[in-house]
Amino acid sequence: MTQCEIRISSEMYAKLHAHLFPGDGDEHGAVMHAGLIHTPGGPVLTVREVVLAVEGRDWVPGTRGYRKLIAPFISKQARRCRDEKLVYIAVHNHGPGNRVAFSDVDLESHERGFPALLDLVEGMPVGSLVFAEEAVAGDIWLPGGKRLDVSRMIVVGPRRTELLPAPRVIDAVRRERYDRQVRIFGERGQEILSHSRVAIIGLGGVGSLLAELLGRLGVGSFVLVDPDRVQISNVPRLVDATGWDAKSWLTAEGRPEWLRRLGSRLATRKVDLSRRVIKRANRCAHVERHFTSMETQAVVDALKTCDYIFLAADGHRARLLFNSLVHQYLVPGVQLGSRIQVEEITGYVVNVHTAARLVTPAGGCLLCNQAIDPRKLREESTSAEMRERERYVDSADAAAPSVITLNSLSASQAANDFLFYMTGLTVAEAFQGTVQARPLERRLRFVTPRRDDDCIDCSSGRESRFGRGQNWPLPMID
């Protein structure tokens, strides 16, 4: 483990970049407070706050180098990081360009100052970043003396930006396989997809379509989460599902109850079905399966390393945890699904809508937008089993039509949003809220998210979880 990753919201990065590069060609300074996430591939730092150093007061001419942060400013920020269990990161800039590195004077200052800072922050890492206009390099010190380089900084916003110490050498892709895609976003875009890691929570009607779409796009790594097995009623809306997967000859009406129970236990797990779909599309893909609900520590540990989360499960416990992960770990995602409303007396379908709701650190969260129902959350938290996740009609007795076409509206919208986000194609003025389709009316509805200043998840308030990493409790973990 010799490298780490840094995640920062687009709002904070824009603020920092404007301070470091105001157009005067000079060096400027700042400090970041960041959360810490331990992963198998190395630490991930999530920027919670950017504190700009005031020219002439906090940022002054240096005695050994060109510029420096003054000791009282450093001490104040380090003590705040110690008290809140955050990582202290000093920041300054060099010139323009797409590559950057520390000077010898920079590294010598780290050798002199960081050991004392480690003592001050009491068990948390400390470090430094140096920016060029399109690049970043970092030197992170861990307790015990180990040092890490910063491999990349991910700017999370309407579109994803990746900053590196120097441009990456692009490997040639298999143009025959992805030729039409490469014509849209280039070999660089295809490389991004092949190195991306996504999570799909819920492998029902919408989630199974996402597995197919993302697998065929060439996404390289998946985390699949679902506690259920295929039933015969699922077959019309699960990609590649068959009666064999549902063990329909064992579970059919009229069979002895013990035989039906046996068939249910032998039916294909939905995570295995979706892995099969992904592997048929891209045999090189890595697929991690969790045959469980989302609300477990093992799933949370897997989600720490993801670039994007697709929440295709309808439970409000899952929504609350997903909402917290997006803002605490700075991993963007989308909550999506389909719904049919049926008039109870006549059985007429009175409303159909599908939704793809973007949830990012820069936008309003599910709590701010009343997308988490406290009553349903209490019901799910106190019941012995989670409520049915694939609830597409309001009445259990209503005759449900085949809804794979409705599921495809949500899945395709979410997959396209992900594609453009990852490859940098999303235009700056792109709508960042919820897209709802109303197929009965042949209309689209666009819902602009709200953001509350005192929200416990998405605000920058002292009591919020925003950017805090793993040193802050998550809700709903079993």
**CATH number for the domain including 134?**
3.40.140.10
In a domain? residue 251: no
193 and 128 fall within a common domain: no
Distance CA 165, CA 102 (A): 10
Residue 292 has pLDDT above 80, yes or no: yes
102 and 214 fall within a common domain: no
Residue 346 has pLDDT above 60, yes or no: yes
In a domain? residue 374: yes
Mean local confidence (pLDDT), 121-141: 96
In a domain? residue 249: no
Q: Which domain holds residue 44?
A: 3-163
190 and 140 fall within a common domain: no
In a domain? residue 462: no
Nearest to 428 by CA among 47, 46, 159: 159
Tens digit of each residue's pLDDT (9 = 90 or more) over 11-48? 999 999 999 999 999 999 999 999 999 999 899 999 99
Residue 174 has pLDDT above 80, yes or no: no
Residue with the two structure tokens 């955050």: 86
Boundary-marking domain end, from 163, 192, 220: 163
Distance CA 267, CA 215 (A): 23
142 and 211 fall within a common domain: no
Distance CA 414, CA 357 (A): 8
290 and 375 fall within a common domain: yes
SS3 146: coil
Question: What is the model's pTM?
Answer: 0.92
Tens digit of each residue's pLDDT (9 = 90 or more) over 462-477? 889 999 999 899 998 8
In a domain? residue 204: yes
333 and 426 fall within a common domain: yes
pLDDT of residue 384: 52
In a domain? residue 71: yes
pLDDT of residue 328: 96
Residue 323, token pair as written in the block: 């909402």
Mean local confidence (pLDDT), 277-301: 96
Residue 398 has pLDDT above 90, yes or no: no
In a domain? residue 121: yes
Q: How confident is the model at residue 121 (pLDDT cuts 50, 70, 90)?
A: very high
In a domain? residue 469: no
